[in-house]
Amino acid sequence: VFLPPVIAIDGPTASGKGTVASLVAEKLGFHYLDSGALYRLVALASKKEGIDPHHPQELGDLTQKLLISFKNGLILLNSEDVTEAIRTEDIGLLASTIAVHPEVRQALVGVQHGFRVSPGLVADGRDMASVIFPDAILKVFLTASVAARAERRYKQLIAKGIPAKLTNLLEDLQERDARDSSRGAAPLVVADGALVLETSELSIDQAVQAVLDWYQAKNP
């Protein structure tokens, strides 16, 4: 069977994965998967249902029942528009808490594989290259210094009118980095064969171009 090509882009919080991955997808005419949005959706739903973030079984059951759809740039949860609601730092932190449970991760595998349709897919997250699409044609580990990332997330939230404090963001980011990298299930790692892109000093255009050049080289 022919499987459409996948470009996997993993990296820590606010490294620019989403921005770079969606622009690369646009350039190539590929589909785009924001896998972090899925964990954020589960976090939001569990909060609404009042489920304890340390109860893996209940969280896994909830994840299996969720109706998730991406339509015209909007993210729908059980047909409710939650595009903005999942972007807060609170939900980001809760997402990293519930994401440690294999029960939750397992329940999201099928949804993610469903995005792999012709002509191709650019997928961003933490375990795109290591677990979900290990046969990706290109694996990129996108990163930047903690200071650069905190600054990026701060500007992003302020621009959206979401209240934020730089010092709190720095702490949240370090807490999330530590949890994402140290967990047993699908930790954030530089996958075998992944190319590292350090973007602290790169513009968005330069980062996008680096990924496109690597893709060209892999797929002449």
75 CB burial (10 A radius; 0-12, 13-18, 19+): buried
Q: Which of 171, 90, 181 is nearest to 143 (CA)?
A: 181
Site membership for ligand CDP, residue 130 (CB under 6 A): no
Task: Tokens for 27, please give them.
Answer: 């350039």
Q: Which residue is nearest to ligand CDP (CB)?
A: 36
C-alpha 129/C-alpha 136 separation (Å) is 7
Task: Establish whether 12 is an annotated binding residue.
Answer: yes
| DSSP 3-state of 21 | helix
Closest approach, Cβ 157 to ligand CDP, in A, equals 9
In residues, how long is the chain?
220
**Nearest distance in Å: CB 220, ligand CDP:** 26
Nearer to ligand CDP among residue 35 and residue 46 (C-beta) = 35
13 annotated to a ligand binding site: yes
For residue 176, the minimal CB distance to ligand CDP (Å) is: 5
Give the Cα separation of 17 and 95 in Å (integer).
17
Please check if 19 is assigned to a binding site: yes
**Residue selected from 7, 25, 40, 194 as contacting ligand CDP according to rule CB under 6 A:** 40
Which is nearer to ligand CDP, 2 or 62 (by Cβ)? 62
60 part of the interface to ligand CDP, by CB under 6 A: no
Count Cα neighbours of 78 within 13 Å in the Cβ-side half-sphere: 10
Q: Retrieve residue 55's tokens.
A: 């109860």
CB 44 within 8 A of CB 77: yes
**Is there binding between residue 116 and ligand CDP (CB under 6 A)?**
no
Tokens at 129, concatenated: 């290259």
Tell me which of 24, 127, 143, 157 binds ligand CDP, using CB under 6 A.
Answer: 127
| 207 carries a ligand binding annotation | no
Nearest distance from C-beta of residue 201 to ligand CDP, angstroms: 9
Give the CA angle between residues 209, 199, 72 to the nearest 5°. Answer: 60
**What's the CA gap between 214 and 58, in Å, rounded?**
42
Instruction: Rule CB under 6 A: say whether 95 interacts with ligand CDP.
Output: yes
Query: According to the annotation, is 15 in a ligand binding site?
Result: yes
Site string for ligand CDP, 5-24 (x = CB under 6 A): ------x-xxxxxxx-----
Binding residues (CB under 6 A) for ligand CDP: these are 11, 13-19, 35-36, 39-40, 92, 95-96, 99, 125-127, 152-153, 156, 176, 180, 199, 202-204, 207
Binding residues for ATP: 11-19
